[in-house]
């Protein structure tokens, strides 16, 4: 089970939705979130931060290590938290759960009139979308290979 949580970035311009795999990590594992507008002047601290396509997540690693005691604490890094889904985007990028629904609207209409064509187009859309997101530089799009 994954828990969903939305959070505003430091400047308040953007927000992102997160999933927390198996409810291992609490929301407090995120210290700060920086969007592409407020992240350029932030020095990346690799011990507690991860950068994904202009976004920076600053983790509270003490909270992560405490909450993740049943995991392997030696492996708890920002990359581990993000890539293993313990604190990661809800989808491929911060607003993916909203954007993907919007992108699929025309396909859903097709599903009612031509189900076979819908399945073909849905597969094509999914592959092209992941390819586009990978080209854009989203970390989770690269993982899907």
Q: What is the pLDDT along the chain (145 residues), one digit of tens a residue?
A: 556 689 999 999 999 999 999 889 999 999 999 999 999 999 999 999 999 999 999 999 999 999 988 887 677 999 999 999 999 999 999 999 888 888 888 788 888 888 899 999 999 999 999 999 999 999 999 865 5
Alpha helix positions (H), 77-138: 78-83, 96-113, 115-136
Residue 134 and residue 142: Cα distance in Å, rounded? 6
| pTM of the predicted structure, to 2 decimals | 0.88
**Where are the domains positioned within the chain?**
2-89, 96-143
Pull the structure tokens for residue 108: 């859903």
Alpha helix positions (H), 19-114: 61-67, 78-83, 96-113
Sign of the alpha-carbon dihedral angle for 100, 35, 29, 140: positive
């Amino acid at each position: 089970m994954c828990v969903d949580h939305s959070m505003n970035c430091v400047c308040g311009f953007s927000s992102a939705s997160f999933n927390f795999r198996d409810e291992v990590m609490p929301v407090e594992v995120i210290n700060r979130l920086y969007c592409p507008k407020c992240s350029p002047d932030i020095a990346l601290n690799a011990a507690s931060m991860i950068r994904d396509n202009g976004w920076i997540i600053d983790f509270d690693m003490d909270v992560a290590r405490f909450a993740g005691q049943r995991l392997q604490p030696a492996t708890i890094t920002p990359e581990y938290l993000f890539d293993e889904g313990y604190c990661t985007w809800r989808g491929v990028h911060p607003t993916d759960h909203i954007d993907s629904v919007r992108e699929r609207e025309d396909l859903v209409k097709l599903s009612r009139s031509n189900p076979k064509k819908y399945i073909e187009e849905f597969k094509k859309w999914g592959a092209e979308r992941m390819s586009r997101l990978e080209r854009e530089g989203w970390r989770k799009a690269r993982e899907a290979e």
